[in-house]
Structure 1
């Protein structure tokens, strides 16, 4: 089963914009739901998964990260990541 996890920090303006893109993309056909995690509260997991910056959207399969994006160009870009990862 494929899942997605979005890592952010509360004071990050770019993270807020990226989350808005995710919010919009999630409602499109075939996208699925994205879990949201404040990286400050999940620092051990972030280290384990080698997250180098935020915002970061990770595709998870079998409880392991298999793909990620750090650049959130626009809603279609995020939607394609979510849709093509299914």
Structure 2
């Protein structure tokens, strides 16, 4: 997953390239470490899906602008608007099925 800078993150979420996935985490969060490993697996399983990630600690304004309630957080963004959100990462099969349905199909 590509780690975005603040400027890149704002460009990413406002792009009009169709659906994109944005994973937001904190390196201080234990649950985020598990979610990051899950997202890295998903990235290998769905190579056509572009997933970018942001460290919430370095861009609190992005969290405020996207109204992120907690991390880990995954947003499917389409044409600058949040299309779908995930806060509970549950399992790799759940993420795989959800992302395949929400982004690829």
Count of paired positions: 86
8 Å contact kept, 1:6–1:56: yes
More helix by share: 2
Unaligned 5+ segments in structure 2 are: 1-17
- Structure 1 residue runs of 4+, over 6 Å off? none
- CA–CA separation in structure 2 for the residues paired with 1:29 and 1:64: 22
Q: Is the 8 A contact 1:25 1:79 kept in 2?
A: yes
Q: Is the 8 A contact 1:14 1:55 kept in 2?
A: yes
> What is aligned with 1:62?
79
8 Å CA contact 1:25–1:31 kept in 2: the answer is no
CA RMSD of aligned residues (A): 1.4
Unaligned runs of 5+ residues in structure 1 are none
- Scaled by the length of structure 1, what TM-score is found? 0.91
Q: Which structure exhibits the higher relative contact order, with contacts defined as CA atoms closer than 8 Å and separated by 6 or more residues? A: 1
